[in-house]
Amino acid sequence: MNAEPRRRPRLAVWKFASCDGCQLTLLDCEDELLGLAEQVEIAHFLEASSASEPGPYDLSLVEGSVTTAQDVERIHHIRAVSRRLVTIGACATAGGVQALRNYADVAEFQAAVYARPDYVATLATSTPISAHVPVDFELRGCPIDRRQLLEVITAHLAGRRPAVPAHSVCFECKQRGTVCVTVAHGTPCLGPVTHAGCGAICPAYGRGCYGCFGPGDSTNFPAFVPLLRRDGMDTLDVVRVLRTFNTAAPEFDAASRKELDR
């Protein structure tokens, strides 16, 4: 069988409101980066190269949240020129820590922070990519996990579903043999309501999970929040731990609002 010359799929990496950490995770794939460049044509990745090729693209990785009117236009364009669109990280998937603005008055922030607030054109909210365009897959994490990013890309190349489970972090703690920090130490931990994917790093070092992968696919906050309180958190602590990188994830948002309404 003669192999026909294969067109390499074209990859684009985009940035919206974000810290660039998730894009850096792609550059962090040092051992795999050359192999990746052989398999895909990296057509647009400004973090790595200023040379940018026009679309269309087979796979677009989108980092960051939508915070300006230009962002809204740009994400629609990216969607139009991308066969698959995958969000990478908490900003693109849930709005990021900058979604804290959703609870506040942005004009007030602008006035307090900038000498000339009239130079700043921004939306009142920070929203995930999925609030604007259809998204094919959302990769969680702040930042994303290197192995999971490679899994998403290789799954795309092979035309298969990525092996990225949506269950709780507890699965990962138990599989790696970590002693439960809540049960054995009384440490508050968001593991039972948080999406797996990091490999349960924090509990392995005796810390509670702080939910940087956002909510898992099966959460029960009314049963869970009393645990945080038992282990020493007051209302403000509970709201703070839910309002970090995934503050605008619907489950975290609803739970934190409910706490404040108590």
Task: Report the SS3 class of residue 260.
Answer: helix
CA nearest neighbour of 58 among 159, 134, 204? 159
Q: Which span sits near another protein by CB under 8 A: 14-22, 138-146, 150-158, 233-241?
A: 150-158
Q: What SS3 state is found at 111?
A: helix
Among 131, 153, 140, smallest CA distance to 22 is for 140
String marking each residue 190-229 x if it binds another protein according to CB under 8 A: -xxx------------x----------xxxx-xxx--x--
Contact code string over 227-256 relative to another protein, x by CB under 8 A: x-----------------------------
Tell me if 28 contacts another protein by CB under 8 A: no
Residue 160 engages another protein in binding (rule: CB under 8 A): yes
Contact (CB, 8 A) for 190 and 210: yes
HSE-CB for 123 with a 13 A CA cutoff? 19
Question: Which CB contacts under 8 angstroms, 24+ apart, belong to 224-228?
Answer: 224/192, 224/193, 225/255, 225/259, 227/182, 227/188, 227/192, 228/188
Binding mask 114-133 for another protein (x = CB under 8 A): --------------------
3-state DSSP assignment of residue 193 = helix
Specify the DSSP class assigned to residue 174: H
Q: Which of 211, 217, 202 is nearest to 238 (CA)?
A: 211
Among 131, 151, 240, 254, binds another protein (CB under 8 A): 151
Residue nearer to another protein on the CB measure, 69 or 232: 232
Piece of the chain touching another protein by CB under 8 A; list 58-66, 72-80, 127-135, 160-168: 160-168
Contact between 178 and another protein per CB under 8 A: yes
- Shortest distance (Å) from residue 129 CB to another protein: 23
Neighbouring C-alpha atoms within 13 Å toward the C-beta of 59? 25
For the CB of residue 38, give the shortest distance to another protein in the complex, in Å: 8
Q: Tell me whether residue 13 or residue 150 sits nearer to another protein (CB atom).
A: 150
Shortest Cβ 166–another protein spacing (Å): 7
Binding site for another protein (CB under 8 A): 1, 3, 32, 35-36, 38-39, 150-151, 153-155, 157-158, 160, 163, 165-168, 170-171, 174-180, 182-186, 191-193, 206, 217-220, 222-224, 227
